[in-house]
């Protein structure tokens, strides 16, 4: 992908996007199943999840939702964050390759 | 509440030596599973000293319905200080607590969220009564430090235990631990763990450890 034109389709299926998505979601999901498995790897997902529930807890329309329901929007947001990270990563790589 | 559908057991565990008396209560709120399961386990504990009275399933109707409230509403708001408790069940529980003449009362609860993080929830808190005195604060601080050092992962920052006072000293919350402190001068602790991002086994483990540590700090050591 480096040096090539970046398209949305390429970003969506890019390994960097899925790696960052997996790092955000799976360590936290594991620790939710068994909290003894909570590791520093879960920290980014943990902070993001807590932030989402803090915001949700003050919004009148969603404040009574159980926190378990936040897993659905959490996964969507994680994918969005991963897309942004992936796009940034490939943009940097492309720029670096062109400069060289 | 003998002979009614609200009849529930009261268990006594005696240590091999004389010592202080404690009361542990679980299931005040029927949907707070960790509280009644830990209290139920405590009925089988062995102690080196002292006496432990356990009411594991305080609000048995609410437990059967898996709901916070029982037929009379929120049981832990029916214990006004200096007055009769406001329901037959609350009066029965208060009768047991008062007759036991405890040195310490531990009430086990669980919240949905986290104290100081989620505006409406008070999880991961050790709640004290307002007139607790230095001994209670020292005990609570020791137990909280112990939990945060040994059980809560360092990176789980929002799950670290903390201490809170029942605020508004003039306001009567109707909570059992406040009545315990005001009416019979015993120490009252309310353990409020959380279900937020914690599996049930961890909730049980942490609630058990805090209860053991609080008892230990009050001279009642669990041996098995």
Quick: pLDDT tens for B57-69: 999 999 999 999 9
Can you give the pLDDT at residue A100? 64
Residue B59 token pair: 């609000």
Which of 1-40 (B) contact A at CB < 8 A? none
CA angle A75, A87, A13 (to 5 degrees): 60
Please state, in angstroms and rounded to a whole number, the distance separating the CA atoms of residues B140 and B177. 14
Residue A4 DSSP code: S
Percent of chain A's residues with pLDDT above 90:
56
Any chain B CB within 8 A of the CB of A55?
A: no
Distance from CA of A40 to the nearest CA of B (A): 6
pLDDT of residue A87 exceeding 90, the answer is no
Task: Report the candidate in B214, B193, B211 with the shortest Cα–Cα distance to residue B137.
Answer: B214
pLDDT of residue A70 exceeding 70, the answer is yes
Rg (CA), chain A: 16
CB contact under 8 Å between B198 and A35, yes or no, is yes
Lowest average pLDDT, out of B91-105, B132-146, B155-169, goes to B155-169
* Interface probe, candidates A35, A40, A58, chain B, greatest B C-beta count within 10 A: A35
Distance from CA of A23 to the nearest CA of B (A): 16
B11-217 carries CATH number 3.40.630.10: yes
Any chain A CB within 8 A of the CB of B81?
A: no
Any chain B CB within 8 A of the CB of A97?
A: no
Residue with more model confidence, A90 or B44: B44
Nearest to B118 among A33, A46, A53 (CB): A53
Residue with more model confidence, B145 or B129: B145
Mean pLDDT of B147-173: 86
Residue A27 token pair: 């360590």
Q: Give the number of residues written for chain A.
A: 100
Distance from CA of B31 to the nearest CA of A (A): 13
Residue B167 token pair: 């605020």
Q: Which of the four pLDDT bands, split at 50, 70 and 90, describes residue B197?
A: very high
Q: Which of the four pLDDT bands, split at 50, 70 and 90, describes residue A20?
A: very high
Can you give the pLDDT at residue A4? 61
- What is the value of ipTM here, to two decimals? 0.88
Please state, in angstroms and rounded to a whole number, the distance separating the CA atoms of residues A46 and B16. 46
Mean pLDDT of B198-202: 96
Any chain A CB within 8 A of the CB of B114?
A: yes
Q: Which of the four pLDDT bands, split at 50, 70 and 90, describes residue A13?
A: confident
In chain B, which residues have their Cβ closer than 8 Å to the Cβ of A67? 112-113, 195-197
* Interface probe, candidates B115, B116, B117, B155, chain A, greatest A C-beta count within 10 A: B155
CB contact under 8 Å between A57 and B201, yes or no, is no
Lowest average pLDDT, out of A6-15, A82-91, B84-93, B157-166, goes to A6-15
């Amino acid at each position: 992908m480096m040096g090539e034109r970046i398209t949305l389709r390429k970003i969506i299926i890019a390994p960097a996007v899925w790696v960052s998505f997996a790092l955000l979601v799976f360590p936290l999901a594991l620790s939710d199943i068994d909290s003894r498995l909570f590791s520093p790897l879960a920290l980014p997902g943990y902070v993001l999840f807590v932030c989402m529930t803090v915001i949700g807890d003050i919004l009148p329309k969603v404040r009574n939702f159980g926190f378990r329901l936040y897993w659905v929007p959490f996964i969507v947001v994680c994918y969005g964050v991963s897309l942004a990270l992936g796009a940034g990563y490939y943009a940097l790589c492309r720029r670096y390759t062109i400069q060289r | 509440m003998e002979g009614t559908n609200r009849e529930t057991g009261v268990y006594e565990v005696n240590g091999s030596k004389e010592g202080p008396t404690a009361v542990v209560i679980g299931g005040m709120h029927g949907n707070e599973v960790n509280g009644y399961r830990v209290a139920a386990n405590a009925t089988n504990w062995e102690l080196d000293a002292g006496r432990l009275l356990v009411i594991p399933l305080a609000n048995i109707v609410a437990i059967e319905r898996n709901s916070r409230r029982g037929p009379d509403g929120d049981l832990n708001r029916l214990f006004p200080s200096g007055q009769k408790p406001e329901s037959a069940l609350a009066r029965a529980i208060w009768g047991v607590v008062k007759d036991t003449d405890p040195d310490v009362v531990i009430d086990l609860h669980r919240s949905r969220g986290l104290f100081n993080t989620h505006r409406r929830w008070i999880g991961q808190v050790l709640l004290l009564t307002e007139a607790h005195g230095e001994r209670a604060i020292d005990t609570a601080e020791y137990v909280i430090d112990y939990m945060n050092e040994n059980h809560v992962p360092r990176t789980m920052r929002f799950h670290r235990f903390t201490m809170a006072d029942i605020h508004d000293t003039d306001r009567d919350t109707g909570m059992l631990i406040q009545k315990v402190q005001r009416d019979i001068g015993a120490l009252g602790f309310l353990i409020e763990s959380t279900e937020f991002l914690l599996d049930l086994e961890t909730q049980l483990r942490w609630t058990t450890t805090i209860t053991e540590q609080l008892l230990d700090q009050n001279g009642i050591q669990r041996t098995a």
